[in-house]
Structure 1
Amino acid sequence: MELKQLNYFVSVVNHMSFSKAAEKLHISQPSLSKAIKNLERDLGFQIIERNTRNIRLTEAGEVLYSRAIHLLSEMTIVKKEMEEVKLVGKGELQIGMIESVKYWLPKVISRYNEKFSDMHIRLTEVLGGDNVKTSLRKYETHAIITNQQIKEVDIETVPLYKEKLVLVLHESHLMAKKESITLKELESEPFIISTKGFQTREDILHAFELEDTIPTVKYEIERFETALSLVSENLGIALIPENYLQGRHDFSIVSKTIESPALERTVYLAYMKNRYVSPSIEAFIKEVKLFFEYIASR
């Protein structure tokens, strides 16, 4: 049994067609059929049942497919690790992030570029907890800055800092000039909140629950930028991370701190524990940690 045979087998299953798989693999259909038959001969049992209209996996084929997917994924990771072994100052750094890190991440990158100016840096938003785990395990990212505390044996999650979720509302809003506001006062306001699956949404709903109240959700969004656009038109109110407001100059938006232990979150740096990374990538992870160690010591 060879890796090429497993790759062919997985492709056939994914496409549920020999002809489509052959086209994707850039080989002839007879060659693909022969490779699968040779794999079955080597294994000693049938893994795919064929008829003129479709194909389906045998029980043994289902077991082999799940194992093959895992093995091929691991081989892809090994290949990427080997590509990085000799990289010291060149290559690609893949970083996942949440929106609110935009105020400090450029500072870290600026310091990092002083040592590794030839690195190509790719920044992508990775938001949900499952997305964080998948992205790291599939080697789509080397490290992720997230508000999700990932509790997995293969993933290191380092707390960086805490930040509050603050209320944002239009300057003309009746509550804009109040010194203190409770969540109970907000229950009838048109509320802007993240869609399901976002940790920020869960934190906000939990905070309202602790006050024995429920917000009137009018808008569901995926980006804080959208929330602020709605607030700037006085269409609703929102709770967003305080750091997201740093550097903004929209004076029509007012922010207020609401006293609630639930309206505070921790931001983490997450990365795989036992995966090889090049010195240049390891240096970025260290740079992020040092940045917040320095801030904490001041």
Structure 2
Amino acid sequence: MELRHLRYFVALGEELNFTRAAERLHIAQPPLSQQIRQLEDELGVTLLQRNSRPVRLTEAGELLLARARSLLANFEAAVADTRRVGRGQAGKLAIGFVGSAMFAGLPDIIGSYRDACPDVELVLDEMLAAEIAEALRRRRIDVGFARPALLPEAGLAQRLILEEPYIAALPRAHPLAERDDIALAELSDDAFVLYPARPEPSVTGLIVAACQAAGFTPRLAQEVLHLQTAIGLIAAGVGVSLVPEAAARAQTGRGVAYVRLAAPAVTAPLTIAWREEDVSPAVQRLLDLATRWREIAPGLARRN
């Protein structure tokens, strides 16, 4: 039995007329009659009462008509869903991201992706940059938004989305809190609230390198895993830190002063990473939107 047998039978069962059913199927009547006979022979039952006018379905024919309609509908839905997944219009996309990406870039990109592919299920998971690399290797995520850039690795690709300035985050009572800008070296006597330095790559590595270029190695006050924790500790006077500009703009009014750094600038690169072998349309669509983000996003993206 083939799908065409079921399609032929459904057309005949709905029309109850060989001529009209053949016209609907765009075939001649004799081949239609032959196909229905073959179907009855294969099933070993009579599906039609041919001596009545109009043709009537037997009880077995009524049952097959209902089941055949359902089978064909399910098959057509499966074909349509498969095509949509193949075009990146449906399915699931797992995304890992560093927390600071939520303040610049990621919300706009995700919003555009949802508008373009509303039937793709997005699974979002916050993690450190090094964890993003591991998750990509183990196929737990499809795409990662990393800060800093991942270390070069065979099989993984990445693309720069944004080169964002770091600014100093200081307790409101800090002597430098009212300044318009400060040199990074002016924080050499302060203790820093930092993320874990290992595994690499880490934001702490970028901050330590910038401090060392300014002539000092930062002293650790507290190690944290999340930006919100760092901001809370800075507000409590535990130490100072450097944070991306967009994150600072989103955190005003929490007992923390944000002061620009004088040249040379310290930047926080944000990249999108994926498995080089992954050519799925869902991933490629997200990559395209991320690449276009500088052109379509306001403010920060256009200044960098």
Q: Which residue in 2 is equivalent to 1:143? A: 143
Q: Give 1 or 2 for the bigger CA radius of gyration.
A: 2
Q: What is the TM-score normalised by the length of structure 2? A: 0.63
Query: Structure 2 stretches of 5 or more lacking a match?
Result: 1-81
Q: Distance in 2 between matches of 1:264 and 1:246?
A: 16
SS of the equivalent of 2:233 reads helix
1:238 to 237, 241, 244: 241
Q: Which residue in 1 is equivalent to 2:167? A: 166
User: How far has the Cα of 1:87 moved from its partner?
Assistant: 6.7
Aligned pairs, number = 215
Q: Which residue in 2 is equivalent to 1:24? A: none
Q: CA separation of 1:166/1:212 partners in 2, compared to 1, >3 Å: closer, same or farther? A: same
Question: Are the aligned partners of 2:88 and 2:285 in contact in 1 as well (CA < 8 Å)?
Answer: no
1:203 to 187, 196, 206: 206
- The question of 1:216 aligning with 2:219 is answered yes
The code of the aligned residue for 2:211 comes to F
The aligned runs of 1:109-148 (5 Å cut-off) are 109-129=110-130, 131-146=131-146, 147-148=148-149
Question: Are the aligned partners of 2:98 and 2:145 in contact in 1 as well (CA < 8 Å)?
Answer: yes
The aligned runs of 1:1-298 (5 Å cut-off) are 86=86, 88-103=88-103, 104-129=105-130, 131-146=131-146, 147-197=148-198, 199-250=202-253, 252-261=255-264, 263-277=266-280, 279-295=281-297
Deviations 1:238-262 (A, max 9, x none): 1111121233342522111223546
Q: CA separation of 1:113/1:206 partners in 2, compared to 1, >3 Å: closer, same or farther? A: same
Q: Distance in 2 between matches of 1:119 and 1:92?
A: 5
Deviations 1:83-129 (A, max 9, x none): x9647422211111111111232222222112221221111123233
Q: What is the TM-score normalised by the length of structure 1? A: 0.65
User: How far has the Cα of 1:212 moved from its partner?
Assistant: 2.1
Q: Which residue in 1 is equivalent to 2:69? A: none
Q: Distance in 2 between matches of 1:232 and 1:150?
A: 33
Deviations 1:149-193 (A, max 9, x none): 432232221111101221111222211112332333222223211
The code of the aligned residue for 1:132 comes to I
Q: CA separation of 1:226/1:257 partners in 2, compared to 1, >3 Å: closer, same or farther? A: same
Q: Distance in 1 between matches of 2:279 and 2:117?
A: 18
Q: CA separation of 1:243/1:280 partners in 2, compared to 1, >3 Å: closer, same or farther? A: same
Q: CA separation of 1:212/1:160 partners in 2, compared to 1, >3 Å: closer, same or farther? A: same
Question: Are the aligned partners of 1:207 and 1:262 in contact in 2 as well (CA < 8 Å)?
Answer: no
Supply the RMSD in Å over aligned alpha carbons. 2.6
The code of the aligned residue for 1:281 comes to V
Question: Are the aligned partners of 2:196 and 2:202 in contact in 1 as well (CA < 8 Å)?
Answer: no
Q: Distance in 1 between matches of 2:133 and 2:237?
A: 37
Question: Are the aligned partners of 1:190 and 1:216 in contact in 2 as well (CA < 8 Å)?
Answer: yes
Q: Distance in 1 between matches of 2:181 and 2:210?
A: 16
Deviations 1:205-250 (A, max 9, x none): 1112112212221111111111100122222211111121233342
Question: Are the aligned partners of 2:97 and 2:128 in contact in 1 as well (CA < 8 Å)?
Answer: yes
The code of the aligned residue for 2:296 comes to Y
